Amino acid sequence: MRFPNLNIFLAWFFMPQTIFMGWVAAAGGMLLNLLGLATAEGDIPSRMVGALLLFALVFLVWFQLRGLPPQGESGGNGYTLGHRLTLIGNVLAACLFVFHFFAPGVENYNVYLVLDKFTTMFGYLCLGFFAIGFSFIYQSSLPQEKNS
């Protein structure tokens, strides 16, 4: 894995973004409303500002802790597999995140419905990939059993 810290950072950004997507957009909308900008619920500016707030929060935690868990051993069992599974989760979560920016531009209702169902499925799948990937990365930091 070339950039394991970036992979973990993005996973920690996309996990709350995927789970609390509506709340993140609502927080962005509240901030925009406090600044005097009228926004509709769940619109694109609210989503962008909410995502920026979440990104700043994850960055602040990363900066304070000097890294985010799990921190694995690069030579340990499951390290590479864990990062690959986490990367797959990041890609699926990014598809779900980006879809909501382009969804208003989809004209055909049937295409929109199929894309909406697939990206919703990606949200469920990516959380499983994050959980399994994190467990493999954590496993790589445990003492390894030596063959006799």
For residue 33, the model assigns a pLDDT of 94
- What are the residue ranges of helices labelled H in the chain? 4-19, 21-34, 44-65, 79-102, 109-140
- Cβ partners under 8 Å of residue 33, min gap 6: 39
Cα 132 to Cα 138: distance, rounded to the nearest angstrom: 10
pLDDT at 108 over 80: yes
**Mean pLDDT for the chain?**
92
Confidence tier at 52 by pLDDT (50, 70, 90):
very high
pLDDT at 1 over 90: no
